[in-house]
Amino acid sequence: MNDIADDGLARDFVKFSVEAGVLRFGEFRTKAGRMSPYFFNAGLFNDGAKLGRLASFYARRLLASGLAFDMIFGPAYKGITLAAAVAIELARLGRNVPFAYNRKEAKDHGEGGSLVGAPVAGSVLIVDDVISAGTSVRESIAMITAAGATPCGVAIALDRQEKATEDGRDVDWSAVQYVSTQLNLDVVALATLDDLLKYLRSGDDPTLRAYAAPVQAYRDRYGV
């Protein structure tokens, strides 16, 4: 479901991410060992105003997508804050759904267990910042199915449209494509790397426009 047409929302989200310092440009080494000309760090949506606006982008994208879900699940750690914020914004827009999240380590006292929040049931939407290798998604799927519920999709902020790595080598599919085709889950993204490129090329800031060429070169080399 990544091809939902809403260029305005994607453009506004990329602009917001750049202005908030969440999307940065330069030289950054990725977990896969690649030198990337950009870096997206959702942990820098770190005050009430930024988080509220981020949740608004998620909620509007989800409502426009038509994806059916009964509740939201946020994988620890970044997904916890995202799930709560998106649930609040969805309720504000008239779509009140429960949410839950997991602990990294199961609690052996009090209510116990590794899941916190609403009972995990029905069709469950996973909310996270990005999909890197699909690992956190597989872990979330295992927890959701163990609770007797059904994972139905994943909502992320940015689809990097980048080849995944397996055993230290590049493969011909991205993490998002793996989740979509192999795990059979719909993926809804606020923006893609192509959206970022459009923004860089169309902006009035010559400094930002200068980053379009290295980002395109990275896309050409590692993109799917």
Amino acid 5: pLDDT: 44
Inform me whether the pLDDT recorded for 133 exceeds 50: yes
pLDDT over 90 at 106, yes or no: no
Residue 149 · residue 121 · CB < 8 Å: yes
Give me the pLDDT at residue 39, please: 96
CA distances from 151 to 20, 136, 142 (A): 32, 13, 9
CA dist 156 to 111, 214, 217, Å?
A: 30, 24, 24
The single residue of 31, 78, 104, 107 carrying the catalytic annotation is 107
> What length does the chain have?
224
pTM of the prediction?
Answer: 0.92
For domain 7-222, give the CATH number. Answer: 3.40.50.2020
Q: Annotated catalytic, 163?
A: no
Please pick, among 15, 50, 109, 198, the residue that the annotation labels catalytic.
Answer: 109
Which residues touch 139 (CB under 8 Å, ≥6 apart)? 75
Residue 109: active-site member? yes
145-199 residue pLDDT tens: 999 999 999 999 999 999 988 877 888 899 999 999 999 999 999 999 999 999 9
Give the span between the Cα atoms of 218 and 160, in whole angstroms: 11
The helix/strand/coil state of 126 is strand
At 91, list the tokens.
Answer: 């309720």
Helix (H, G, I), strand (E, B) or coil at 223: strand
Question: How confident is residue 26, by pLDDT bands cut at 50, 70 and 90?
Answer: very high
Cα 10 to Cα 49: distance, rounded to the nearest angstrom: 19
